[in-house]
Amino acid sequence: MPEDDAALSAEEELALARLALGEGDLRHAADHVAAALVRSPTLPEAHETLARLAAASGGDLELFPLGQQAFVGAVVARAHLLAAAGSPAEGLDLLAAATGYAPAAPWAAVPWVTAAELPERLDPERTARILMQVCAAAPDPAPRRLREPLRPYLTLARNAITVHPGHPLLLGAASALARRLGEVTLAVAWATRGVQAQPTKLGEVWLGYAYRSAGRPADALAALERAVALDPDDLAVYADIAGTLAGHGRLDAALGWIDRALAKDPTFDCAVHTAHRLRFQRDGNVDHLVALADFVRDHPDDSHEHGDLAECCRGRPWLGQVTPADAGPSDDTGPSDDTGPSNEAAQRLQHLAHPAWAHPPAAYDAAVGLATLDLTDLLALVAHPPPPPSTALGRVLGGQDPALWTRCAQVWACLGLLHHRTDEPWTGSTRRRVLRELVAGAPERAAEGALFALVTAAWVDPAIRADVAGVVAGRLDEVATGPHRRTPLAVSLAYLARATPALDPASRATADALIADAASGPLRRLWRRLTALFRR
């Protein structure tokens, strides 16, 4: 919402609040004040009206109740009332909670938060905990749009350190916030003072992160290794060390640290995720990522979200995106079928189809949106892909590369086939039979979409991996020994083979050779042009 519109809307809410105050309707007045604070958290008139309401109610906090689904405006209003009533620590707790809910709003950009005398009224450990709560709401580093709304908390940190210059927890938490806001020199200085005041595992970790953000990997590693010495059982630090080493090309050393962590606990999630990511980074064997996907499936209650699998698949052909279509126009539809898809089927596919996905299991999960379509509709979507949707992506694909949209639509229609009659055992299932028939008999691009669907099925079901790997190996051998060896289709199929779980070493070597031929031969410029077109 533009700023002028937000201020106008806040003024309207305040006008209603003043009317309600005049009538003695404090409950409705409070509702309108809370709404005004959401629209403009720093508007002076909103705070003036809140002060009038507090005077009229005797500072009744229950005008702004808290609960499991509390309105953020009520939370913020209550925070300001608490601070005015002499309980700023409780008020800061609530402001930090509001920041966690909506970090882009300047909830804390008010005079009482940035007042130099505030930290004298706060326990330094409580201030440190509040800063840590704010850090939990901000990525590291925070994007620019979040830095200004979070800056009042950095002012609070400065003022608190002036009052409590040797408090190790406060210094470390302040360092973590400064690092997120791009103040890396200050982050290093504060974290250094923190560990000088009292060497702790957490303090050394904060110092290591600050050094890492400052581009000082050797110092970062030294600090993190001191953290391990202080607490050898915190395996998350082992993973941090490994990530730092890997980020500077020292993969063997990184894996050494991960192996040490796994020796202590083979199921520790951070170590498992990091291990598979680094091993894939070292040799490119997709079976590491498949093992990671298996681990994620078998351990749904991990301590926190990890992005290693998506990070490894992002931008990679078939692991995270469809490969480009051929350079020229294409009439490559699917199998002969005189009946087009129903309107419902076309709309579902238009809503779902996309040239990229996080990783194959994520693509499988997303395709469940086609699960209730019947087989006739799914095959019709392959044979007669609908036009691109009237979305930004659809307009780009339809205007710049219609062939890529057709390819995406066929890929997702084939993924939809994976959800057809899932109660049938795989070996004799309709979904397996139809996909294999498409691989064998459909035009090349539609056949490749069906092959990707089979590969995706192998990612999510270990029991069928040998079956799918055999199909992929056979198709790869046909292309590698036939007239299409030096074509974009062969390169795309090679990447698909690389994405196949449990592929035999000979077939993997064939795929590598096809990709190497394309990289060094006359297809190099064509493949780069096609890839650039996709990434545009």
Q: What is the pLDDT of residues 2-22, one digit of tens each?
A: 334 444 589 999 999 999 999
**Is the pLDDT at 404 greater than 60, yes or no?**
yes
Two structure tokens written together for 408: 């995406």
Residues in the chain: 536
Q: In whole angstroms, what is the distance from residue 468 CA to residue 76 CA?
A: 56
CA distance 337 to 495: 30
SS (H, E, C) 60-123: CHHHCCCCCCCCHHHHHHHHHHHHHCCCHHHHHHHHHHHHHHCCCCCCCCCHHHHCCCHHHHCC
SS3 assignment, position 231: coil
Kindly tell me if the per-residue pLDDT of 530 is higher than 50. Answer: no
- With bands split at pLDDT 50, 70 and 90, how would you rate the model's confidence at 392? confident
Model confidence pLDDT, tens digit, residues 307-350:
999 999 999 999 999 987 654 434 455 555 868 899 999 999 99
Would you place residue 177 in the very low, low, confident or very high pLDDT band (cuts 50, 70, 90)? very high
Please give the pLDDT value at position 444: 80
Rounded CA-CA distance 291/459 in Å is 9
For residue range 107-155, list pLDDT tens digits in order: 999 999 999 999 999 999 999 999 999 999 999 999 999 999 999 999 9
Give the phi and the psi of residue 72 in degrees, each rounded to 5. Answer: -60, -35
pLDDT on residue 217: 95
Q: For the purposes of burial, counting CB atoms within 10 Å of the CB of 479, is it exposed (0-12), middle (13-18) or buried (19 or more)?
A: buried
In the predicted model, what is the mean pLDDT of the chain?
91
Residue with more model confidence, 520 or 343: 343
Strand boundaries in 381-512, DSSP class E = none
Q: Is the pLDDT of residue 185 over 60?
A: yes
Question: How far does CA 56 lie from the centroid of its chain?
Answer: 47
Tokens of 492: 């795309």
DSSP SS3 for 321: strand
Q: State mean pLDDT over 232-245.
A: 94
